[in-house]
Copies of this chain bind each other. A is one copy, B any other.
Amino acid sequence: MNIPTISNLKRVVIIGAGFAGLQVAKKLRRDKFQVVLIDKNNYHTFQPLLYQVATAGLEPDSIAHSIRNVIKKTKNFFFRLANVHYINTEKQKIYTNVGDLHYDYLIISTGSVTNYFGNNNIESFSLPMKSIPEALNLRSVILQDFESSLLIKDSKERERLMTFVIVGGGPTGVELAGALAEMKKYILPHDYPDLDIQSMNIHLLQATTRLLDGMSEESAKQAYKSLKELGVTIWLNCLVKDYDGKIVFMEKDKKIESSNVIWAAGVKGAIIKGFLKEDIMGHRILVDDYLKTIRYENIFAIGDVAYMKSYPNGHPMTAQPAIQQGNYLSENFNRCSSYQKNPFIYKNLGSMATIGRNKAVCDFPYFKLKGFLAWIIWMFVHLVSLVGFRNRVIALTNWIIQYFHYNKSVRLIIRPYHRRKNHLKKS
């Protein structure tokens, strides 16, 4: 890869520009390190709001931010758009689709991918929502289904098209179910007066005994109640066994007929080839209390992909631990030693989920909130967390208009058009 070598500066290569990787990339001192950031996209994705792109609330520009625009001070900083294929820990090299690169230190912050738990049927028939193209695809599928419903005479088939099954009752599933239910309530009846929108069904399937496993019992109950009120059918203790594109098969011979299964049931670490089996635990890379990998002195893992053994079940695979780990590691590096004496301690600042208009739940360390105030706090926290002034302004403008207009205006079915220039195909 075309990056100058500077003799007196160690090169730190960061793979992945999610919350964790971006944090390190921003904070590492460039007078001490040459920083190379690699990502398969040229933008950082604010994943907590992906569901709003999928439900026609926001366009990608509100929740994505050009990486080159985030990191403006470019001295000793290099961003490269590339897919990393594997790592050679002995040669200290990474191999990508655009060439190889030597590292002195390697920080792996590749995040996570959708976990289908090995079920190929589910993988090929259900719809994921882990990236911007996936969210845009989901948006188009939802809208296209309603257009198709108008044209289909077979009532059974129409019912399947108008039935949405969300698998996974975590924050993603809950927020998506809420947003879909609000579309059903406020938007679709106006858009499709010649369809019986009441026959649209939204199912939320959760494997455990309650929604929002990571949050308080109180918040889970409130989310359950609010979703019920919005007309969502909630299935608890419900394990999905299979899906053939038409029927969701659950345990105890239960079934739902649906053309639209959205899979939000789990994620797993996005591991790159080159690690030994022993260094991996449940699809995540094992790290010590200082976020260093067990085997290699110069390789670190942070964010979703990292599994700290000393923390029960590893840290939650959310933005907060990722940002805190990114911060911690950059501070360690900036002291010019890869270690500091204090191990990484995760501070849980709380968690929150929104269900719909004026409805959210927040768990903070010392108190809990629900309803309108929780919703305002949810919006505020998400707004200030967005990267970049412009993204905040555009997202806020959208939310204000939606709030007063009861409308989600990004109802555009935009299907891929991809003309790659022939002579570039080889690259």
Q: Measuring CB to CB, which residues of chain A are less than 8 angstroms from any residue of chain B?
A: 1-2, 41-43, 59-61, 64-66, 68-69, 72, 74, 78, 80-81, 98-99, 124-125, 127, 131-134, 136-137, 141, 143-144, 147-148, 150-153, 190-194, 245-246, 259-260, 388-391, 393-394, 397-398, 401, 405, 407, 409-419, 421-424, 427
Contacts and interface: CB of A to CB of B under 8 A. Distances in A.
A69 B72 CA distance: 40
B64 A412 contact: yes
Contacts of A43: 411-413
Identify the interface centre among A80, A151, A413: most chain B CB within 10 Å of its CB.
A151
B133 A417 contact: yes
Contacts of A413: 41-43, 81
Contacts of A411: 42-43, 66, 68-69
Nearest to A191: B68
Main secondary structure on A side of the interface with B: mixed
A417 B136 contact: yes
A405 B193 CA distance: 44
Number of copies: 2
Contacts of A127: 419, 421
B409 A390 contact: yes
A397 B401 contact: no
30 contacts: A2-B150, A2-B152, A59-B60, A60-B412, A64-B412, A66-B191, A66-B411, A68-B190, A68-B191, A74-B190, A78-B194, A80-B147, A99-B151, A124-B422, A125-B422, A127-B419, A132-B414, A133-B414, A133-B417, A134-B417, A141-B419, A148-B424, A259-B421, A259-B424, A260-B421, A388-B409, A390-B405, A393-B397, A394-B398, A415-B418
Nearest to A62: B59
Contacts of A152: 2
Contacts of A2: 150-153
Nearest to A161: B424
Given A80-B150, A409-B388, A418 B416 contact: yes
Nearest to A133: B417
The 7 closest A-B pairs by CB, nearest first: A416-B416, A133-B417, A66-B411, A59-B59, A68-B191, A81-B147, A245-B423
Nearest to A388: B409
Nearest to A418: B416
Contacts of A423: 245-246, 259
